Protein backbone atom coordinates (compact mmCIF):
# COMPACT_ATOMS: atom_id res chain seq x y z
CA UNK A 1 0.00 0.00 0.00
CA UNK A 2 1.26 3.49 -0.90
CA UNK A 3 -0.14 6.54 0.84
CA UNK A 4 0.43 10.20 -0.11
CA UNK A 5 -0.09 12.87 2.56
CA UNK A 6 -0.16 16.53 1.44
CA UNK A 7 2.39 15.76 -1.27
CA UNK A 8 3.70 18.75 -3.21
CA UNK A 9 6.68 19.03 -5.54
CA UNK A 10 7.71 22.42 -6.89
CA UNK A 11 10.51 23.63 -9.10
CA UNK A 12 11.38 27.11 -7.82
CA UNK A 13 7.94 28.73 -7.51
CA UNK A 14 6.27 26.44 -10.07
CA UNK A 15 4.06 23.71 -8.52
CA UNK A 16 4.85 20.69 -10.69
CA UNK A 17 2.76 18.09 -8.88
CA UNK A 18 0.33 18.09 -5.95
CA UNK A 19 -1.45 15.12 -4.32
CA UNK A 20 -3.40 16.19 -1.22
CA UNK A 21 -4.36 12.60 -0.38
CA UNK A 22 -4.15 9.36 -2.33
CA UNK A 23 -4.01 5.73 -1.27
CA UNK A 24 -2.96 3.01 -3.70
CA UNK A 25 -3.66 -0.60 -2.83
CA UNK A 26 -1.14 -3.27 -3.88
CA UNK A 27 -1.29 -3.79 -7.63
CA UNK A 28 0.27 -2.93 -10.99
CA UNK A 29 -0.28 0.71 -11.97
CA UNK A 30 0.22 2.17 -15.43
CA UNK A 31 0.82 5.90 -15.06
CA UNK A 32 -0.22 7.87 -18.13
CA UNK A 33 0.17 11.52 -19.07
CA UNK A 34 1.54 13.85 -21.73
CA UNK A 35 5.19 14.88 -21.78
CA UNK A 36 5.93 17.26 -18.92
CA UNK A 37 2.87 16.23 -16.92
CA UNK A 38 4.98 15.01 -13.99
CA UNK A 39 5.20 11.23 -14.45
CA UNK A 40 8.96 11.01 -13.91
CA UNK A 41 8.76 13.60 -11.13
CA UNK A 42 6.24 11.37 -9.39
CA UNK A 43 8.39 8.24 -9.60
CA UNK A 44 11.59 10.03 -8.58
CA UNK A 45 9.81 11.54 -5.59
CA UNK A 46 8.51 8.15 -4.51
CA UNK A 47 12.00 6.72 -4.95
CA UNK A 48 13.46 9.38 -2.67
CA UNK A 49 15.56 11.00 -5.40
CA UNK A 50 13.68 14.32 -5.37
CA UNK A 51 12.86 16.33 -2.26
CA UNK A 52 9.23 17.33 -1.75
CA UNK A 53 6.76 18.67 0.79
CA UNK A 54 4.46 16.32 2.66
CA UNK A 55 5.06 12.62 3.11
CA UNK A 56 4.81 9.24 1.40
CA UNK A 57 4.19 6.08 3.42
CA UNK A 58 4.69 2.47 2.46
CA UNK A 59 2.43 -0.12 4.11
CA UNK A 60 0.87 2.74 6.11
CA UNK A 61 3.74 2.88 8.60
CA UNK A 62 7.07 3.29 6.78
CA UNK A 63 7.63 6.97 6.06
CA UNK A 64 10.13 8.15 3.47
CA UNK A 65 10.78 11.16 5.70
CA UNK A 66 10.97 9.43 9.10
CA UNK A 67 12.43 6.05 8.16
CA UNK A 68 14.36 6.75 4.94
CA UNK A 69 16.81 3.84 5.23
CA UNK A 70 14.12 1.19 5.75
CA UNK A 71 11.91 2.81 3.11
CA UNK A 72 14.63 2.88 0.43
CA UNK A 73 15.54 -0.73 1.09
CA UNK A 74 12.00 -1.71 0.12
CA UNK A 75 11.67 0.55 -2.94
CA UNK A 76 13.54 -0.10 -6.20
CA UNK A 77 13.69 2.28 -9.16
CA UNK A 78 14.68 1.97 -12.83
CA UNK A 79 15.18 5.24 -14.72
CA UNK A 80 14.00 5.90 -18.25
CA UNK A 81 17.55 6.66 -19.41
CA UNK A 82 19.90 5.03 -16.86
CA UNK A 83 23.39 6.36 -16.27
CA UNK A 84 26.12 4.46 -14.45
CA UNK A 85 29.85 5.16 -13.91
CA UNK A 86 31.48 4.05 -17.15
CA UNK A 87 34.43 2.31 -15.48
CA UNK A 88 32.35 -0.05 -13.33
CA UNK A 89 31.24 -3.41 -14.70
CA UNK A 90 27.69 -4.66 -14.76
CA UNK A 91 28.58 -7.38 -12.25
CA UNK A 92 30.05 -4.80 -9.88
CA UNK A 93 26.85 -2.75 -10.06
CA UNK A 94 24.84 -5.88 -9.39
CA UNK A 95 27.05 -6.78 -6.40
CA UNK A 96 26.50 -3.30 -4.94
CA UNK A 97 22.74 -3.70 -5.21
CA UNK A 98 22.82 -7.24 -3.82
CA UNK A 99 24.47 -5.85 -0.70
CA UNK A 100 22.27 -2.76 -0.43
CA UNK A 101 19.01 -4.63 -1.06
CA UNK A 102 19.95 -7.80 0.86
CA UNK A 103 19.07 -9.90 -2.15
CA UNK A 104 18.56 -13.67 -1.78
CA UNK A 105 21.61 -15.73 -2.69
CA UNK A 106 21.74 -16.56 -6.39
CA UNK A 107 18.84 -14.30 -7.35
CA UNK A 108 21.03 -12.27 -9.70
CA UNK A 109 22.10 -15.36 -11.67
CA UNK A 110 18.51 -16.20 -12.57
CA UNK A 111 17.85 -12.61 -13.67
CA UNK A 112 21.06 -12.41 -15.73
CA UNK A 113 20.28 -15.67 -17.51
CA UNK A 114 16.64 -14.75 -18.01
CA UNK A 115 17.57 -11.46 -19.71
CA UNK A 116 20.45 -13.15 -21.59
CA UNK A 117 23.11 -10.77 -20.27
CA UNK A 118 25.86 -13.37 -19.71
CA UNK A 119 27.89 -12.25 -22.72
CA UNK A 120 28.54 -8.71 -21.50
CA UNK A 121 27.58 -8.33 -17.85
CA UNK A 122 31.26 -8.58 -16.80
CA UNK A 123 32.27 -5.69 -19.09
CA UNK A 124 32.54 -2.00 -18.06
CA UNK A 125 29.20 -0.29 -18.60
CA UNK A 126 30.93 2.37 -20.71
CA UNK A 127 30.98 -0.23 -23.48
CA UNK A 128 27.24 -0.94 -23.23
CA UNK A 129 24.67 0.01 -25.82
CA UNK A 130 21.52 1.82 -24.68
CA UNK A 131 19.65 -1.49 -24.71
CA UNK A 132 22.27 -3.16 -22.52
CA UNK A 133 22.13 -0.27 -20.04
CA UNK A 134 18.35 -0.55 -19.92
CA UNK A 135 18.48 -4.26 -19.20
CA UNK A 136 20.97 -3.70 -16.39
CA UNK A 137 18.79 -0.99 -14.88
CA UNK A 138 15.71 -3.23 -15.04
CA UNK A 139 17.60 -6.14 -13.49
CA UNK A 140 18.73 -3.95 -10.57
CA UNK A 141 15.11 -2.90 -9.98
CA UNK A 142 14.08 -6.51 -9.37
CA UNK A 143 16.91 -7.40 -6.98
CA UNK A 144 16.12 -8.06 -3.34
CA UNK A 145 12.64 -8.34 -1.89
CA UNK A 146 11.15 -4.96 -2.79
CA UNK A 147 7.65 -4.07 -1.69
CA UNK A 148 7.49 -1.45 -4.46
CA UNK A 149 9.16 -1.34 -7.89
CA UNK A 150 9.14 1.89 -9.91
CA UNK A 151 9.77 1.62 -13.66
CA UNK A 152 10.10 4.80 -15.70
CA UNK A 153 9.46 4.06 -19.39
CA UNK A 154 10.59 0.42 -19.08
CA UNK A 155 9.26 -0.58 -22.50
CA UNK A 156 11.58 1.62 -24.56
CA UNK A 157 15.06 0.74 -25.88
CA UNK A 158 14.76 -3.02 -25.33
CA UNK A 159 14.00 -5.62 -28.01
CA UNK A 160 10.83 -7.69 -28.27
CA UNK A 161 12.34 -10.75 -26.57
CA UNK A 162 13.57 -8.68 -23.61
CA UNK A 163 10.18 -6.96 -23.45
CA UNK A 164 8.42 -10.30 -23.05
CA UNK A 165 10.88 -11.28 -20.32
CA UNK A 166 10.19 -8.00 -18.53
CA UNK A 167 6.44 -8.64 -18.68
CA UNK A 168 7.10 -12.01 -17.03
CA UNK A 169 9.20 -10.37 -14.30
CA UNK A 170 6.44 -7.85 -13.61
CA UNK A 171 3.62 -10.37 -13.43
CA UNK A 172 5.64 -12.86 -11.35
CA UNK A 173 6.76 -10.17 -8.89
CA UNK A 174 3.18 -9.07 -8.33
CA UNK A 175 1.37 -12.41 -8.40
CA UNK A 176 3.97 -14.49 -6.55
CA UNK A 177 5.47 -11.96 -4.13
CA UNK A 178 2.74 -9.34 -3.83
CA UNK A 179 5.09 -6.62 -5.07
CA UNK A 180 3.45 -3.33 -5.97
CA UNK A 181 4.59 -1.93 -9.32
CA UNK A 182 4.23 1.58 -10.73
CA UNK A 183 5.34 2.17 -14.29
CA UNK A 184 5.13 4.94 -16.83
CA UNK A 185 4.88 4.23 -20.54
CA UNK A 186 3.87 5.98 -23.72
CA UNK A 187 3.38 2.54 -25.20
CA UNK A 188 0.28 0.52 -24.39
CA UNK A 189 0.73 -2.40 -22.03
CA UNK A 190 -0.07 -5.87 -23.30
CA UNK A 191 -3.47 -6.46 -21.76
CA UNK A 192 -3.28 -10.20 -22.37
CA UNK A 193 -0.13 -10.45 -20.25
CA UNK A 194 -0.97 -7.85 -17.60
CA UNK A 195 -4.78 -7.72 -17.50
CA UNK A 196 -4.82 -6.47 -13.91
CA UNK A 197 -2.96 -3.22 -14.66
CA UNK A 198 -4.75 -0.17 -13.22
CA UNK A 199 -4.51 3.10 -15.13
CA UNK A 200 -3.56 6.34 -13.37
CA UNK A 201 -3.58 9.69 -15.13
CA UNK A 202 -1.19 12.53 -14.30
CA UNK A 203 -3.00 15.67 -15.40
CA UNK A 204 -3.46 19.24 -14.20
CA UNK A 205 -0.67 18.80 -11.62
CA UNK A 206 -2.35 15.90 -9.86
CA UNK A 207 -2.91 12.14 -10.09
CA UNK A 208 -6.27 10.45 -10.58
CA UNK A 209 -7.71 7.11 -11.61
CA UNK A 210 -8.91 6.97 -15.19
CA UNK A 211 -12.54 6.13 -15.85
What does the pLDDT read at residue 211?
Answer: 54
Collect all residues with Cβ–Cβ distance below 8 Å to 194 and sequence separation of at least 6.
28, 167, 170, 171
What does the pLDDT read at residue 204?
Answer: 83
CATH of the domain at 91: 3.40.50.300
Q: Are 74 and 146 in contact (CB under 8 A)?
A: yes
- Mean pLDDT for back-to-back runs of 10 residues, the chain (211 residues): 95 90 94 90 96 95 96 96 96 96 94 97 97 98 97 95 95 95 88 88 86 54
Q: Give the total number of structural domains in the chain.
A: 1
What does the pLDDT read at residue 94?
Answer: 97
Residue 7: strand pairing partners: 19
What does the pLDDT read at residue 133?
Answer: 97
Collect all residues with Cβ–Cβ distance below 8 Å to 170 and sequence separation of at least 6.
28, 149, 151, 181, 183, 194
Q: Are 63 and 108 in contact (CB under 8 A)?
A: no
What does the pLDDT read at residue 195?
Answer: 86
What does the pLDDT read at residue 205?
Answer: 84
What does the pLDDT read at residue 209?
Answer: 82
Domain of 156 in residue numbering reads as 2-209
Please give the model's pTM, rounded to 2 decimal places. Answer: 0.95
Amino acid sequence: MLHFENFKKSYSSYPALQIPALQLEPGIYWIKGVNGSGKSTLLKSIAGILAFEGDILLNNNISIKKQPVIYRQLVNFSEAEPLFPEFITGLEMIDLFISAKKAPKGQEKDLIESMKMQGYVDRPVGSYSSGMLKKLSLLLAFLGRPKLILLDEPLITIDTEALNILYTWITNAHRNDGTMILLTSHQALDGDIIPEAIELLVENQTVQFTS
